[in-house]
Structure 1
């Protein structure tokens, strides 16, 4: 296939743009913020899990405290009632003895409940400190994740702008290259190769291999407007003054 040497040199410009677009796409995929954001999200979720566990435990203790308070109030009410009965008239000796026995039992029950209440309240107070710590850890993790997301978004915006700019350059350049030449170039790129590369110091600019003498002799004999390909990787080879032919 024939292609004017000037067109071939434009293929090198196009290949440079495509290489830059590939690098930009790779940078977009491999931004460190992606992995950092995944780690930060995991830290936030772990913080939420710890906070939920602490809040659940606190709720259980609050219910225990309420239950014990209710039980203590019930015992105190029974004590007040028995004391009122003892203080009243018409209480026989046996009933008085029974009331005294019940008051002793109620006093012991009240003491047990109050000890239990004190223990649970101390546990609840300690858990309150843990709750505040868990909230602080979660808030810090969420702030970190927000900051990473902002950095990622800013980096993506810069990459998008650079990609859009190079894309516009590419679109403008396509009009300068004949369709059949462009088709050959694009077919090479579909196979994961560079579409075109300079032959520099007897090496292919795409695969970096030094070409053998026989093939180099063929290149020397080929007309300047002949579209030639690397015998190793198939990339369009563009001959320049630096080719070493």
Structure 2
């Protein structure tokens, strides 16, 4: 049976308190509310990234469509300008001049149709550019929000890290006098029992299980020499007996 002085057993209990505090600090750092908020903001930004990419594609397509519409209108305008110049010059036969007049009428109608197409494309482009601007602004706002939350998280973690460093220093000092075999037993139990290897026995109740120790077992523990390690039957943890154990 493993032996340890009552003082070392009490030191194990204090060591457990420090390790529990370290575990709590680690858990708190891992579960800061900022983590969930950052995940949420990142998800919303990812959705906006997808929407922005689609909007940019639509805007690019419409700009090319508008350029073609403008080119088509300009070609008709240029053709009409040339025909009008020839008509104004009076050069050519009567049939030629009549043909030019007829073509100018057709070109005028064609220009009107193309200008309607151009206007419709311009309106769609303006709408898509407005949407893209809104999406981009929203993305920038989310980026700023996330940066602010990340700064809050980092500040919280810095405080927790400093606290953990202080506790670790206390732990080193607390563990230094203890026998290596005792520490190995303690570490092995911590790994097997969810981080808690040692608990106090107070007024007949095991703080390892939270349950009263049965009378026969309690009598057995009471009869065990103080320098022998005893265990909680329910939890398997080391029970440390203090002045208020029984």
TM range, normalised to the smaller chain?
A: over 0.9
* Residue aligning to 1:135: 136
Contact 1:47–1:141 (Cα < 8 Å) also in 2: no
* Residue aligning to 1:167: 168
* Residue aligning to 1:47: 48
1:37 aligns with 2:38: yes
Of 230, 233, 238 in structure 1, the residue corresponding to residue 240 of structure 2 is: 238
Contact 2:52–2:135 (Cα < 8 Å) also in 1: yes
1:200 aligns with 2:213: no
TM-score w.r.t. length of structure 1: 0.93
- For residues 207 and 174 of structure 2, what CA distance do their matches in structure 1 show? 21
* Residue aligning to 2:152: 151
Q: How many residues are paired up?
A: 244
- For residues 90 and 140 of structure 1, what CA distance do their matches in structure 2 show? 66
Q: CA deviation at 1:231?
A: 1.5
TM-score w.r.t. length of structure 2: 0.93
Aligned 1:1-245 pairs, distance under 5 A: 1-193=2-194, 194-243=196-245, 245=246
Runs of 5+ consecutive residues of structure 1 not aligned to the other structure? none
Contact 1:54–1:131 (Cα < 8 Å) also in 2: yes
SS of structure 1 residue aligned to 2:227: coil
SS of structure 2 residue aligned to 1:197: strand
Once the two structures are superposed, what CA deviation does each residue of 1:68-112 show, in whole Å capped at 9, x if it has no partner?
Answer: 111111111111111122222441122222212211111101001
Contact 2:90–2:97 (Cα < 8 Å) also in 1: no
Q: CA deviation at 1:238?
A: 0.6
